[in-house]
A and B are shown apart, each in its own frame.
Chain A
Amino acid sequence: MLKLDGINKIFNEGTPDEKIALAEINLHLKPGDFVTIIGSNGAGKSTMMNMISGALTPDFGSVLIDGNNVTSLPEYKRSHFIGRVFQDPMAGTAPTMTIEENLALAYSRNKSRGLRIGVDKKRRQFFKESLEMLGLNLESRLSAKVGLLSGGERQALSLLMATFTKPSILLLDEHTAALDPSRAELITRITKHLVEKDNLTTLMVTHNMQQALDLGNRLIMMDKGQIILEVGEDRKHELTIPDLMAEFERIRGEKMNSDRALLG
């Protein structure tokens, strides 16, 4: 489904600020895999997400989706088959446009856009039904501007929009980190529901170890631009936070120094 093959990226190469962002990343996702990614700040998690989405291109190495090499495909072309939700609730929606117009934008993701009216009767009905699933009563506010929604509501809408067209890959980049605990809980629940409904192949970056353990069938830990730990389906369900901390210490020979990773 998704294959990262020897991805390398160095920022500011040849300057004193040179930083190895990713070093020899190899990752293979089977269809329906739900992989959670943890790691401290600067571990390369977001850089890896940007490599997959096409916002960044690797110095060398290749990205394959559904067996096609997409390494040199620009972001807007790759997003035909990649859905993405960002950490910032403001980032995934267009604030001055209405809920239904935002959904229409998401709906035409994998089609070519033409001079067809974006929100017609048939689509409005479909949008309504999809929104009902969120349980936030957004279906009765179809023509409200998205800028008026709360952060949680916007993030729920972003999630729905990202999964609307059943993308080959779903990228979740700390999408609950900017929300208060109860909203984060809600978004986590919606995430689970949407991913399971269409059996989406998903990559989720999180700072919250508990969330990383609760969701998905695989887990990877990153540090200093490398994948330092991979836990497969067989072992993931019995894993605990102390296990993860111990594992990190064993591999790196130092204590994990992120309070956020512990507390979420």
Chain B
Amino acid sequence: MFTAIFGSVEQGIIYAIMALGVYLTFRVLDFPDLTVDGSFVTGAATAATMILLGYHPILATLVAIVAGFIAGCMTGILHTKGKINPLLSGILMMIALYSLNLRIMGLTAENTIGRPNIPLLNSETLFSKFQTFWSNLGIDAALNNVLKSIGIQQVPSTWGTLIVVLLITILIKFIADWFLKTEVGLAIRATGDNKRMIRSFSANTDTLIILGLGLSNALVAFSGALIAQYSKFSDVSMGIGMIVIGLASVIIGEAIFGTKTIMRTTLAVIAGAIIYRIILALALRVDFLDSGDMKLITAIIVILALVLPQFVDKNKERKRKAKRAAERSHMKTVEQGGKGLA
């Protein structure tokens, strides 16, 4: 149980980077970008391919980020220059990326054009590189001793992965917070808020949309590259439903932690991604559910996250009104009682 949750937290933190990308398009730019399903795999495929071809995992990850950026920009160009509806631009890019992802992975084998998956079982990844450095520090043993002393017997094999993904995601959160406060960041936010207004303040909304989509998909591809290295494989279908997972994270996070400021919202999105993974891990432990049911569970989680807050609000409203009505009738009784005495 503990190790299952532990794994979910690790994955959740990696998926949080993708969720931040989705937040950037869906919420900040107000652009429902479906490129995500494709660009996530592009990130995974690019990183896995380069690692298998012998490049350093850091270089492989950086190239994956750039690939995601380009994919996002393409969607933006389709929408702004080609005047194609936002949803359709994303879908077109997503479907085009499917073929491209096959071709990218095909680069790993001779005489093959497309390849649906790449295993990374014996390859060095970002995590295995970090592990060699980490295991010398002896922190794992110390932390596991603490766990054992409070009665948890199943301990994780390493804390290194958790620490490194946590550092990366927190760094990205701070960069995102800072970026959204810069002049360009403010202009991107205004583009999602009121295009006509920001155009009258000499901002080129087309460029800002393209840039925003590029940055968003760069994050998504980064997340994909990390997931490929974490789970040691890349598969052409690993991106299916990714947009819904991202959205689920954003919605869960916002519902629980609120959206008062940008800094709070980005933190909420990260927390949302982790909570989503934990819910999923717990749901999969239910006997009659199978891992094939994951997408169904995802859909149900999103629906609940959308519907429950409305229900809670209504309930609060009803209670408040009932309380006011009760106070009023109480006041009346007091008044009448007073008169009676006089």
Contacts and interface: CB of A to CB of B under 8 A. Distances in A.
Contacts of A94: 189-190, 193-194, 197-198
Interface stretch (A13-21, A75-83, A176-184, A233-241): A75-83
B189 A97 contact: yes
A115 B182 CA distance: 5
Nearest to A82: B200
A116 interface: yes
Contacts of B182: 114-118
A93 B186 contact: no
A96 interface: yes
Nearest to B179: A115
B183 A108 contact: yes
Contact of B186 (A53, A77, A79, A104): A104
A88 to B, nearest CB: 9
A77 B197 contact: no
B199 A114 contact: no
B100 interface: no
B85 interface: no
Given A80-B202, A94-B194, A113 B181 contact: no
A142 interface: no
Nearest to B259: A96
Contacts of B190: 94, 97, 105
A109 interface: yes
A113 B189 contact: no
A106 interface: yes
B181 A117 contact: yes
B183 A91 contact: no
A79 B201 contact: yes
Given A94-B189, A96-B193, A97-B193, A77 B202 contact: yes
Number of chain A interface residues as a range: 35 or more
B186 A84 contact: no
Nearest to A75: B199
A132 to B, nearest CB: 22
Contact of A105 (B187, B196, B204): B187
A62 B290 CA distance: 69
Given A104-B183, A105-B186, A114-B182, A91 B201 contact: no
B182 to A, nearest CB: 5
A143 B233 CA distance: 47
Interface in B190-239: 190, 193-194, 196-205
A82 to B, nearest CB: 8
B26 to A, nearest CB: 14
B184 interface: yes
A97 B185 CA distance: 12
A9 to B, nearest CB: 20
B199 A76 contact: yes
A254 B203 CA distance: 45
A80 B202 CA distance: 5
A105 B202 CA distance: 9
Contacts of A114: 182-184
A162 B200 CA distance: 9
A95 B183 contact: no
Contacts of B203: 76, 105, 113
A6 interface: no
Closest CB pairs A-B (n = 5): A113-B183, A94-B193, A79-B202, A118-B186, A94-B190
Interface of A: 53, 74-80, 82-84, 86, 90-97, 101, 104-106, 108-110, 113-119, 161-162
17 contacts: A76-B199, A76-B203, A76-B204, A76-B205, A77-B204, A83-B200, A86-B196, A94-B189, A94-B190, A95-B194, A105-B186, A105-B203, A108-B183, A110-B202, A116-B182, A118-B182, A118-B186
